[in-house]
Structure 1
């Protein structure tokens, strides 16, 4: 069975929780207090960060890599498109995710200069969603899961209005119809 070293407030962990739920994979959770990390977590991941998954004594950190691992290890239901171009687009969007999160975290820390930078990232995501229904192309999948935790937290925890981004707002509504993503909205509400 998979063990997930998890922290509810962590959006990177949320990615993994959503993938596990979408694929109906049984797992156990060991919750890590990010304000008081146990020394042993550094044995699981030398950076001390979560998420980390462990299966049969083998550990894997980094949410983007964990998502790909789970997709390959548990291929049904598929969360990467069958089409090679859409798979590549999904991977590209996940690869470029740091451009989205850097201004998000700066804004969360209270950096007033980050507001316009984060708005620019929301504009870009909105424009991409005007062209295609999902972040990774024509189908829901890993790229959507990669962005959803930050959009939920920006809206619900930081008060970022999504109405200036109609395609993004519609995308989030579609995401919240999925039980795995709706559950993450409940996690955010409890933070």
Structure 2
């Protein structure tokens, strides 16, 4: 059995979970308190980060290469286009969300509101929260601009870029930090991806001390 060491609201773990579920690869989910740096976990990944995927006897770390390996081992249904230029665009957008969006938004909202409490690192920094709340507007507008020209974020088919974006936004939606009224086409895009069977386990997540809003698991918002 494949095993994924993860944290429920981690967007990087969620991206891997979505990839596995879309390809119907069974996996056992194991919650990992990575911040405690348990020696056994550190042996799995000396970087001390999640996700870590145990597959075919190997321990795999870092979400982007994990997802690309999954794609190479299980190419159907595809999450990357065939043309090199189109594959570049998918990788560009995955990096956009896992780097720029993460640093400007996720780390300043989710990490301040949730991670600090869970890891007992103190109270949210209001300055960071304000910066994150301002920055997400820019990112939603950029997504809206992309979706004005395309059916999906990276083109006319759903790709890993959509899963990367949805992983971050779903984590933030769990704590009601996404203004879905800001962009109709972003809202419609999320409704489409949220209704996929691959999303079911994410919508069932429960984090102790942080109940999700009523709309979180509602496919019609």
Same fold (TM over 0.5): yes
For 1:7 and 1:115, the matched residues in 2 are separated by 23
Aligned-partner Cα distance in 1 for 2:101–2:172: 11
Cα gap change, 1:139/1:188 in structure 2, threshold over 3 Å: closer, same or farther? farther
Aligned partner of 1:174 in structure 2 is: 192
**Would you say how many aligned residue pairs link Structure 1 and Structure 2?**
191
Does residue 90 (structure 1) correspond to residue 90 (structure 2)? The answer is: yes
Name the structure 2 match of 1:162: 180
Unaligned stretches of 5+ residues in structure 2: 113-125, 213-221
User: CA 1:61 to 1:162, structure 2 compared with 1: closer, same or farther past 3 Å?
Assistant: same
Which aligned pairs between 1:16-165 and structure 2 lie closer than 5 A? Answer: 16-97=16-97, 98-104=99-105, 105-108=107-110, 109=112, 110=126, 111=128, 112-165=130-183
Q: Aligned partners of 1:102, 1:188: CA distance in 2, in Å? A: 24
Give yes or no for contact 2:86–2:154 (8 Å, CA) kept in 1: yes
Q: CA separation in 2, counterparts of 1:103 and 1:181?
A: 25
CA offset at residue 69 of structure 1? 0.6
What's the secondary structure of 2:3's corresponding residue?
Answer: strand
Q: Which runs of 5+ in 1 are unaligned?
A: none
1:148-183 alpha-carbon deviations (Å, 9 max, x no partner) = 021122233143211112221110011022111243
Q: Determine helix, strand or coil for the equivalent of 1:54.
A: strand
Shift of 1:140: 0.8
- CA–CA distance in structure 1, aligned partners of residues 206 and 32 of structure 2: 16
Shift of 1:35: 4.9
Cα distance in structure 1, aligned partners of 2:5 and 2:174: 24
Per the alignment, residue 204 of structure 2 pairs with 186
